[in-house]
Structure 1
Amino acid sequence: MTTDGDAQNKRLQQQVDQLKTQLAQAEKMTALGELLGTTTHEFNNVLMTVINYAKMGLRHKDDATRTKAFDRILAAGERANKITSTILSVARNRSHGMESTDLVSLTEDTLVLLEREMRKYRIQVEKQFAQVGPCWANGNQIQQVLLNLLINARQAMPNGGQVLIRIRPAEDARAVDLTLRDSGQGIPPDKLPRIFDPYFSTKDGPDESGKGGTGLGLSACKDIIEAHRGRVRVDSSVGKGTAFTIRLPLAPSKPVQASFVTSNNQTLPATGTTHASSS
């Protein structure tokens, strides 16, 4: 009986591990899809601006109209250059492991990708960035978290609103706190404890832009922050808004050779404890 029970437990554990792997992959694909959709949308906007003002310049022969068209085309080209630079920094300038990461610069890069989207939905972004040291992080993964939280905040304010992003040293001075607060609808108290559960969503489905509704985003955020030996806290009031606070450890003062293990298809620190809180 014991042998049969052990074998059954082993098979169940293998199934659980397989499901965790599939979930992690789904989380990654969801985040990749959101980033790809956002970037594609931004480039389409730039392309349409160039085409429309080029047509206007061809139709009108007067210098004033053509100068205006050329100025708008130039501005669109500069916008495309900013987006391209941000995307290239994801692909080329960041490693797949943990490294010293400028959280302020990373946040600024992320806002570039969502600049037009925030303007379209009448979202005002306020930044309060204190002087902080670099954190110890995987830049691509933290950008995934920021994109998800910013898109969630935008979706919580269908009639427009304000997003406040605050970066400051943590109270213990060995970490950095990033708080993202929206003025949206808030999360009902009965749903708040479950928001980090896989496949749980407060939304009915994707919005008009095709984003959100899978219930994977916040679960992936929690997993990423835990892998960084950080923590995430959420505070919300119905009708007033929601605030997510992420705490990440500061980078070590001296270069270290990090050790990594693979778990759920993610690269994680081999040592240290993790903590995440939803209240």
Structure 2
Amino acid sequence: MPDLKSVQSPRPAKHSMEEATAEIAALKSQVRHMQGLVSLGELTGTATHEFNNVLMTVINYAKLGLRNEDKASRDKALNKILDASERAAKITNTILAQARNRSDAKEPTDLVALVNDTLVLLGREMQKYRISVETDLAENTPMISASGNQLQRLLLNLMTNARQAMGEGGTLLIRVGAQPAVGGQPETVELTIRDSGAGIPQDVLPKIFDPFFSTKSGPDESGKGGTGLGLAACKDIIDEHDGKIRVESSVGRGTAFIIRLPVQASQKAAA
């Protein structure tokens, strides 16, 4: 009679497969946590740098106003201080919104407003590297159901990558608009981020969303990039929002990331 234990031997292998699946899930969770930390660090660094620039503007024009007693000079200084203060308010409001909303819960989200907020954070950085930013943001773009925190990380990653791909000088185009339902596909909001940088070789394109894969040797002088987690995080965010992404790139001519995100269900019903 065969030994009962030998008949039941496949069962430990099944248990081992379950353990392997659990370990893979845990590793993916750790990677996502690291991606979040990297994005948070870059957001904090960017905001701090921008706020410091604004503060220096306020200080310099305050000194100018104190040195000159004529009304024209003081009016100019006060107007510059007012402009800088309003910019500082936009930066702090963007950061405070992130701090208040720590969850990744999805809610009605205005993608155009998120793009504008992100450009406030990156505006001076683009100027520093002589990047010309062009926008084509359609009015009355439908809302999407999304986590504002996650989408802002997505925007920061893609815009920073575009800036790094161009080095000194170049053009960054950001386009947002609605795409109608076609052939059974739902109505979407399409986001395009196109740079005029170095482009990505065709043999590298399939790997760019792999965790820890990077074409950079490390962070640049701004302290950003080179971890291999930025684009992997972007892909995860898009997947979690039931979106689609495609990449168009040509070496020497630039790269475009085209993302489509489904329109919020309540707006579809209203339409």
Q: TM-score range by the shorter chain?
A: 0.7 to 0.9
The CA deviation at 1:225 is 0.5
The CA deviation at 1:185 is 0.7
Residue 149 of structure 1 corresponds to which residue in structure 2? Answer: 158
Distance 1:224 1:88 in 2: 21
Residue 133 of structure 1 corresponds to which residue in structure 2? Answer: 142
Check the 8 A contact 2:130/2:170 in 1, yes or no. yes
Q: Which amino acid aligns with 2:196?
A: S
2:236 to 218, 223, 234: 223
1:35 to 17, 27, 43: 43
Distance 1:96 1:17 in 2: 19
Closer, same or farther: CA 72–197 of 1 in aligned 2, 3 Å: same
Residue 199 of structure 1 corresponds to which residue in structure 2? Answer: 212
Instruction: Identify, as 1 or 2, the structure richer in helix.
Output: 2
Q: Secondary structure at the match of 1:110?
A: helix
The CA deviation at 1:95 is 6.3
The CA deviation at 1:49 is 1.8
- Is 1:158 the equivalent of 2:167? yes
Closer, same or farther: CA 50–254 of 1 in aligned 2, 3 Å: closer
2:107 to 99, 109, 131: 99
Closer, same or farther: CA 18–93 of 1 in aligned 2, 3 Å: closer
Q: Deviations over 1:180-201 (max 9, x none)?
A: 1111110111111100000001
Residue 179 of structure 2 corresponds to which residue in structure 1? Answer: 170
Residue 10 of structure 1 corresponds to which residue in structure 2? Answer: 18
Residue 232 of structure 1 corresponds to which residue in structure 2? Answer: 245
State the structure with more CA Rg: 2
Residue 70 of structure 1 corresponds to which residue in structure 2? Answer: 78
Residue 111 of structure 1 corresponds to which residue in structure 2? Answer: 119
Q: Which amino acid aligns with 1:161?
A: G
Q: Deviations over 1:44-71 (max 9, x none)?
A: 1112222233333444455444443333
Aligned length: 256
Q: Secondary structure at the match of 1:253?
A: helix
Check the 8 A contact 1:27/1:217 in 2, yes or no. yes
Q: Which amino acid aligns with 2:226?
A: G
Check the 8 A contact 2:194/2:255 in 1, yes or no. yes
Q: Which amino acid aligns with 1:177?
A: E
Distance 2:180 2:220 in 1: 37
Q: Which amino acid aligns with 1:71?
A: N
Distance 2:70 2:266 in 1: 61
Distance 1:202 1:194 in 2: 10
Distance 1:203 1:162 in 2: 21
Check the 8 A contact 1:94/1:139 in 2, yes or no. no
Instruction: Give identity over the alignment, percent.
Output: 59
Q: Secondary structure at the match of 2:78?
A: helix
- TM-score (normalizing by structure 1): 0.85
Distance 1:94 1:15 in 2: 26
Q: Which amino acid aligns with 2:114?
A: L
Unaligned runs of 5+ in 1: 257-279
Distance 1:183 1:222 in 2: 22
Distance 2:243 2:106 in 1: 13
- Is 1:214 the equivalent of 2:227? yes
Residue 260 of structure 1 corresponds to which residue in structure 2? Answer: none
Residue 90 of structure 2 corresponds to which residue in structure 1? Answer: 82
Check the 8 A contact 1:175/1:249 in 2, yes or no. yes
Question: Over aligned residue pairs, what C-alpha RMSD do you find?
Answer: 2.2
Distance 2:253 2:157 in 1: 20
Q: Which amino acid aligns with 2:34?
A: A
